[in-house]
Amino acid sequence: MTAHIPLDAKALNDALARFPRDRAMQIGGRDAHAGGETIERRSPAHGVVVTRVPRGRPEDARAAIAAARQAFDRGPWPNETASNRSRVLLKVADLIDRDRELLALMDALESGKPIAQARGEIEGAADIWRYAAALARELSGESYASLGGDRLGFVLREPIGVVSIITPWNFPLLIVSQKLPFALAAGCTCVVKPSEMTSASTLHLGALLAEAGLPNGVCNIVTGYGPEVGAPMTSDADVDMISFTGSTGVGRAAMAAGAATLKKVSMELGGKNPQVIFPDADMDAAVDAATFGAWFNAGECCNAGSRLLLHADIAEDFLARLAERSKRVKVGDPLDPDTHVGAIISADHLVKIETHLRAARDGGAVVRAGGARLESNGLFMAPTIVAGVTPAMAIARDEVFGPVVVALTFKTLGEAIDLANSTAYGLSASVWSRDLDTAIAVGRGVRAGTIWVNTFMDGTPELPFGGYRQSGVGRELGRNAVKDYTEEKTLHVHTGPRTGWWVG
């Protein structure tokens, strides 16, 4: 590709002037600097340093865990009233709204995502905090008065304890907001590790938590690399639960580390999500959804619609329409409000995407659009369509995590369901058909945590999110999101005289 991506130097300088580049970790209510060693983050779009965060060490992770343990065992938060917890969470949501533009700039510069998209994510994050605040006041147990005249039974829900929260780089503030407010609503204390590539907005969130009145030590934020910071967070005996979002491979390692002390785990992992399109679908809507699903967030999304399963009768026409639509997808400067697709997160990741495409071509697949990086000082990839794909190809089964969509064809409903289930993942899927029987058959037959009908990647905090098989363990969001951070305790009460065990 010879297209050149122009970058606006003035917009970049104006954005950088709005926040400090150097940041500190937060442990026990104090700033921490990890002995002065830092990680520099360069904007993948602009190539300049945008933030510097401490390179946390194992001892920093252990100090954060100790602070969280102390805050849970001795602090007021686990015993705080639901109304007061809710009040703090609502204040955090208001502060996120207040700082929405600043947070969006941080995420756009560090991750390369378009600023318009980042603004939407920050708005969505605030909405999740408000939903968690509502659930905080609904958390309740059970009572049983039908066990006999001299017995009562109570089932209590208590906070599980210290939670390690590990988040990825692709949705920095949004994903921590799918975890942290629900843990706090339950009364837990937390240690949070954002990706070393996108730490700024999470660190800013820590300041907002303090401003909202969260007690010291209840939320501790440690920055750094997985082997140095993440490993202690998953293995330390003082951690009661791990909530992780990231790759399936790292998720397996985190589960293995937690298994030694039988920690509860919540894992939101990879996906290879199909959009199944039948001949009777609204084609304009389906093409639009395919465009969005494939290239939203540059395809760096576990929920990306990275597989098109097209009925053979409409496959060629659909791909032609999609290729034409791809020409109108603007790849460009993340700070440009009109940009649809921003930069790829890192040079190494761009090479991985290119390696996937090279292997697909070598295996006989055909690139119908895109297929190469774009000329720029930054890291940009053209929206790419790969056809002639068979289910056995790696590109049809493995997560590319880039702006790449593959197309496969089917002839019968049963074949479509089999294709949809032909990967190790099961995060989400969509079905496009005006026929209710067809839509329900696919919805029930595909093994995935979310099935969309005639839409794609819609979401709301009220609906749970998570996957089958190697897409994860457990669910986030939804009415049970706070309960997930609790333990059940049975309280069995006997009143009056008790009959002795000995007979006679």
pLDDT at position 497 is: 86
Please identify which of the residues 268, 300, 399, 476 carries the catalytic annotation.
268
For 16-269+471-489, CATH number out of 3.40.605.10, 3.30.1490.20, 3.40.462.10, 3.50.50.60 equals 3.40.605.10
pLDDT at position 2 is: 44
- Which stretches in the chain have pLDDT values below 50? 1-2
Quote the tokens at residue 71.
């805050």
Same fold, 16-269+471-489 and 274-453: no
Q: What is the dihedral of CA 344, 350, 352, 355, to 10 degrees?
A: 130
Quote the tokens at residue 384.
């790419």
What residues does each domain of the chain span?
16-269+471-489, 274-453
Q: Assess whether 37 carries a catalytic annotation.
A: no
pLDDT at position 502 is: 73
The CATH superfamily of 274-453 is Aldehyde Dehydrogenase; Chain A, domain 2 (3.40.309.10)
Please identify which of the residues 301, 302, 399, 476 carries the catalytic annotation.
302
Chain centroid to Cα 494, Å, comes to 46
Phi-psi region of 217 (alpha: psi -120 to 50; beta: other; left: phi over 0): left
Distances (CA, A) of 474 to 137, 168, 230, 464: 22, 17, 20, 10
pLDDT at position 504 is: 54
Positive or negative torsion for Cα 50, 54, 56, 62: negative
The half-sphere exposure of 498 on its side-chain side, counting CA atoms within 13 A, is: 7
pLDDT at position 503 is: 62
Instruction: Tell the residue number behind the tokens 């009661």, with chain if given.
Output: 240
Q: How does pLDDT run across 111-161, given as a tens digit for each residue? A: 999 999 999 999 999 999 999 999 999 999 999 999 999 999 999 999 999
CA angle 103, 106, 110 (to 5 degrees): 150
CA 27/CA 42 separation, integer angstroms = 25
Q: Assess whether 302 carries a catalytic annotation.
A: yes
CB contact at 8 A, 19 and 105:
yes
CB-CB neighbours of 83 under 10 Å: 10
Closest CA to 163 of 474, 428, 442, 374: 474
Q: How does pLDDT run across 29-87, given as a tens digit for each residue? A: 999 999 899 999 999 999 999 999 999 999 999 999 999 999 999 999 999 999 999 99
The half-sphere exposure of 126 on its side-chain side, counting CA atoms within 13 A, is: 19
Q: How does pLDDT run across 443-483, given as a tens digit for each residue? A: 999 999 999 999 999 989 999 999 999 999 999 999 999 99
pLDDT at position 1 is: 40
State the greatest distance between any 2 C-alpha atoms of the chain, in Å, as a whole number.
96
CA 120/CA 109 separation, integer angstroms = 15
CA 429/CA 447 separation, integer angstroms = 9
Closest CA to 340 of 355, 356, 325: 325
